[in-house]
Amino acid sequence: MLLTISTDHRPAADLGYLLHKHPDKFQSFDLSFGTAHVFYPEVGDHRCAACLLLDVDAVGLVRGRNPDQDFLLAQYVNDRPYVASSFLSVAIAQVFGSALQGRCTTRPELVGTPIPLVARLDVLPVRGGEAFLRAVFEPLGYEVEAVRHPLDERFPEWGEGPYFSVTVRHTVPLSTLLSHLYVLVPVFDARKHYFVGEDEVGKLLAKGEGWLASHPAKDEIVRRYLGNRPSLYRMALGRLVDEGDPLGDESPVQERAEESLEKPISLNDQRLGSVLAAVRASGARRVLDLGCGEGKLVREFLKDRQFDEIVGLDVSVRSLEAAARRLKLERLPDAQANRVKLIHGSLMYRDKRLEGFDAAAVVEVVEHLDPPRLAAFERVLFECARPRTIVLTTPNREYNVTWETLPAGKFRHPDHRFEWSRPEFQTWATGLAARFGYAVRFLPVGPEHPEYGPPTQMAIFDRNA
């Protein structure tokens, strides 16, 4: 909402020339999201302070012209009017454009001169806390002072909020300070970006020239600046490689908690491999992938001519759309496309479309079901769909202790409703097999720990003749 830039450079009033804004005026500028005001609360020989005040029109944001706004921006109850965000960057570029670009006709010699500058932001939302704040500013030579505000002092149990009053100090040319702020302010809460398009990449590269490529936190800065869009992120990172030190392979996009735990042991690949082996071994030709998600296993099935008919089912339409994109279903030749079908459905409802298959894979699904609803799942799969072979995997809770980053008692994924130990899983599966006329055997997936077993457990059910 408020950026205060001050200096004790002498004469301090030079700040006015550098900013191209007269210290004795109150100037207002219309911007797309509201109004920006520039004024000087303090002008003296020893000290001069200039304020850039953003008056964001919260109602206008909701009722505004851009219908594709982020959902959170579309709330009237919105922190945007009070924080330093990408709006501030826009305002810096538009109101202090010359200063940002380092142009000053009246005092050209000042432009490149480092002067002692202090920038204060009221208030900056920081995801990642003070540590991240320092990790971003300190490598650039800033001295950082931050005061964190509570969410609500009436309810201390709610904890601290994400908002800081931040002061950074450094002796740099003004244009450098403004460039840093322009790039870095939106980075602290990448959540609510306004426009993230390809031209943003260009802007980032232009304003980050000379310092971003060597910044130790550049990955994080780039990713957040671009609002976590992986493709844009890769594009930008690729271009950065040309400028700074060589980067390795594409770094992965922000991973979900479970994936980041499992990545080091490439559990996902091992799991898909094991499931594929078990389904292949059954001799199945018509297969189901229940809870197919974005279609990784479907893609494996598709590569193997053993499988004539492949049906992936998921309860999330978004996942199915992603799966269709990843599998490029629309562009597959007919002979391929006719083998695969993605259907929207739920394992809580009996579904005729699932009947008559040779095998079904149920990979990392049961732990997403509420325990009282498991009974419905069991009947839908084992009694109604009743494939000849069922390959089912689920996490082995015992293994969790081997992950130091996973707090004790926490599940691997926030949507997990439970995670089973090996005895719990085997008791469940054995009972199920007996009840519905299947034989069951168990196999480990992933590196086995001598005490805690494998990270993933797999059961293979075969229907009795």
Partner 1 sequence: MRISIPKLSLVVLIGPSGSGKSTFARTHFLPTEVLSSDACRGMVADDPNDQAATNDAFDVLHFVAAKRLALGRLTAIDATNVQPEARAPLVALARKYHCLPVAVVLNLPEDVCQERNRGRADRAFGPHVVRNQRSQLRRSLKGLKREGFRHIFVLDSVEAIEAAVIERVPLWNDRTHEAGPFDIIGDVHGCADELEQLLERLGYGKVAATGHEPGWSNVGYAHPEGRKAVFVGDLVDRGPRVLDVLSIVRNMVTLGSALCVPGNHDMKLLKKLNGRDVQITHGLAETLAEIDALPADVRPAFTKSLAGFLDGLVSHYVLDGGKLVVAHAGLKAEMQGRGSGKVRDFALYGETTGETDEFGLPVRHNWAAEYRGAATVVYGHTPVPEPDWLNRTVNIDTGCVFGGKLTALRWPEREFVSVPAARTYCEPARPFLPEAAQAPPLTAQQVYDDLLDAEDVLGKRIVTTRLRGSVTVRAAHATAALEVMSRFAADPRWLIYLPPTMSPSETTAEPGLLEHPAEAFAYYRSQGAPQVICEEKHMGSRAVVTVCRDERAAGERFGVTGGEIGIVTTRTGRRFFNDADRERQFLDRVRAAVTAADLWTSLGTTWVCLDCELMPWSAKAQELLKAQYAAVGSAGRAALPRVVASLASAGARLRDGDKEKLEAVAARMERREQGVQKFVDAYRQYCWPVNSLTDLKLAPFHLLASEGKVHTDKAHLWHLDTLADVCRADPDLLVATAHKVVDVTDPAAVAEGIAWWTELTGRGGEGMVVKPLDFLLRGKRGLAQPAVKCRGREYLRIIYGPDYTADENLSRLRSRGLAHKRSLALGEFALGVEGLERFVRREPLRRVHECVFGVLALESEPVDPRL
Residues within the interface to partner 1 (CB under 8 A): 1-2, 4, 24-26, 28, 37, 39-43, 51, 53, 55, 58-60, 63, 75-79, 81-83, 122-123, 125, 149-152, 154-155, 157-159, 161-163, 165, 315-317, 344-353, 368, 372-373, 375-376, 379-380, 384, 415
CA distance 332 to 157: 55
The H or E element containing residue 442 is strand 438-445
Q: How far is the CB of 152 from partner 1 (least distance, A)?
A: 5
d(CA 271, CA 457): 9
> Which 3 state secondary structure label does DSSP give 24?
coil
102 near 178, Cβ under 8 Å?
no
Dihedrals φ, ψ of 399, to 5°? -70, -20
Q: To the nearest whole angstrom, how small is the minimum distance from the Cβ of residue 336 to partner 1?
A: 26
User: Which CB atom, from 305 or from 352, has the smaller least distance to partner 1?
Assistant: 352
**Token duo for residue 43:** 């002008």
Residue with Cβ nearer partner 1 (132 or 452): 132
Task: For partner 1, give the closer residue by CB, 168 or 217.
Answer: 168
Instruction: Give CA–CA dist 183/114, Å, rounded.
Output: 19
Rounded to a whole number of angstroms, the minimum distance from the CB of residue 354 to partner 1 is 9
> Minimal distance in Å, beta carbon 136 to partner 1?
20
Nearest approach, Cβ of residue 159 and partner 1 (Å): 8
Distance between CA atoms of 201 and 237, rounded to whole angstroms?
Answer: 10
CB of 121 to partner 1, least distance (A): 9
State the nearest-atom distance from the C-beta of 330 to partner 1, in Å.
Answer: 20
State which residue, 155 or 249, has the beta carbon closest to partner 1.
155
C-beta closer to partner 1: residue 319 or 457? 319
The burial of 380, by beta-carbon neighbours within 10 Å (0-12 exposed, 13-18 middle, 19 or more buried), is given as: buried
Q: Collapse the DSSP code of 268 into the 3-class scheme (helix H, G, I; strand E, B; otherwise coil) and give the result.
A: helix
Q: Which amino acid is at 277?
A: A
**Residue 304 vs 370, nearer CB to partner 1:** 370
**What b/e string do you get for 57-74 counting C-beta neighbours within 10 Å, with b at 16 or more?**
bbeebeeeeeeeeeeebe
Work out how close the CB of 395 gets to partner 1 at its nearest, in angstroms, rounded to a whole number.
Answer: 18
Angle between the 198-207 and 218-225 helix axes, to the nearest 10 degrees?
140
Residue 114's nearest CA partner among 73, 173, 167, 33 is 173
> In the complex with partner 1, which residue's Cβ is closer, 331 or 352?
352
Closer residue to partner 1 (CB): 41 or 230: 41
* Least spacing, CB of residue 38 vs partner 1, in Å: 10
Least separation in angstroms between CB 109 and partner 1:
27
| Euclidean distance between CA atoms 377 and 366, whole angstroms | 8
Backbone angles phi, psi at 445, to 5 degrees: -130, 130
Question: Residues in the chain, how many?
Answer: 465
Q: Which is nearer to partner 1, 384 or 434 (CB)?
A: 384
Handedness of CA 459, 463, 464, 465 (dihedral sign): negative
Nearest CB to partner 1, comparing residues 46 and 103:
46
